[in-house]
Amino acid sequence: MADNLDINNVHRELARLPNFIVFAGTGLVAGTGISDSWKKLMQALAEEVGVGIGGKSEDEYPDVAEDVYEKLRSEGKGQRYDDIIKEALTPTEIRWSPHAMEVIETTNWIVTTNFDNIIEASIFKRDAIKQRTSNPRIINLPNLEKVDGFDRETLTYLHGSAHNNYIILRRQQYDNYYPSVSGKNGPTCIEEYLEFIYRNYPIVFVGFSFRDRYVRACFANIHARMAWQDEDASRQVGYQRVLPNIPQHYALIRRLRPEDYSKRENYDADCETYKKIQQDLKAININFIWYHNHIEWTQSFEKIRELRETFTIVSLE
């Protein structure tokens, strides 16, 4: 597949897949009143203890969350930390997302790093519209059950959910749950789950920027471990290499626009960041697909469904 694909080039390719997982980030909450970036959540946390986040980068946000949590805990107000997050993740416009609706109409398995319940609310809104009742399988920390999520509607909260009062946001939590990245001892359930889906199912990343270096590095480590296993076992008679047989994955990334930046140097810095991200993803079998706006990628899911119907009709004939 060619580099720098536009989203319009992959509709047919995705439509021909019998199933694919959607790995959803904050882009799915647009229009609900919940911020589709972590910055406002970090600002709400920092303001609670009278500090600002200034020029902090996204990679420093877990440190901000850690500092706020420790300060509130030291003052006997640890519960306030959870309350701030819940307040920031409460929709102020609509409780469901039209973007999430497009996704749940296209696939029945969504994995998300979001903490809000917008996707669940969208499933129930879909049920109300279609006058049906569904019982989605909810997979959440600490039990990330490795099952085929296509056998019934499945939603996996990879980093926990706010309404369950446990999320991965602080640096200590990231380091604990991503031991291959941090080099520290901790539970391996998230990394094992990511390897399970990466190895076995096509994944389409939507509304997920890949700025989360833990997730990106974890996938890189998974790929490197498979490559090492292939190399180590390649001398065995009849050995089937793993990497050539893993599914193709896709990352839908919003194209950067200079007009969205107040400072040219910030735009240039982000361009360099995404150039590096694109290189990283290409190396681990994840195609980097540009899109221009939310309307474009949500319409692409509608086109995928239309193409699926066309393929079905042709095969029946």
Q: What is the pTM of this model?
A: 0.93
pLDDT digits (tens, 9 = 90+) for 189-245: 999 999 999 999 999 999 898 888 899 999 999 999 999 988 877 777 777 888 989
Mark whether 72 and 182 lie in a shared domain. Answer: no
Mark whether 233 and 276 lie in a shared domain. Answer: yes
Mark whether 132 and 157 lie in a shared domain. Answer: yes
**146 close to 189: Cβ distance less than 8 angstroms:** no
Q: 6 or 68: which carries more pLDDT confidence?
A: 68
Closest by CA to 169, choosing from 214, 209, 138, is 214
> How far apart are the C-alpha atoms of 296 and 192, rounded to whole Å?
33
Mark whether 58 and 199 lie in a shared domain. Answer: no
Mark whether 119 and 71 lie in a shared domain. Answer: no
Mark whether 204 and 76 lie in a shared domain. Answer: no
How high is the mean pLDDT of the chain?
A: 89
Q: Considering its fold, how many domains does the chain have in total? A: 2
Residue-range definition of the domain harbouring residue 73: 35-88
* The residue type at 86: K
> How far apart are the C-alpha atoms of 314 and 171, rounded to whole Å?
52
Mark whether 74 and 176 lie in a shared domain. Answer: no
pLDDT digits (tens, 9 = 90+) for 22-54: 999 988 898 898 987 788 889 999 999 988 887
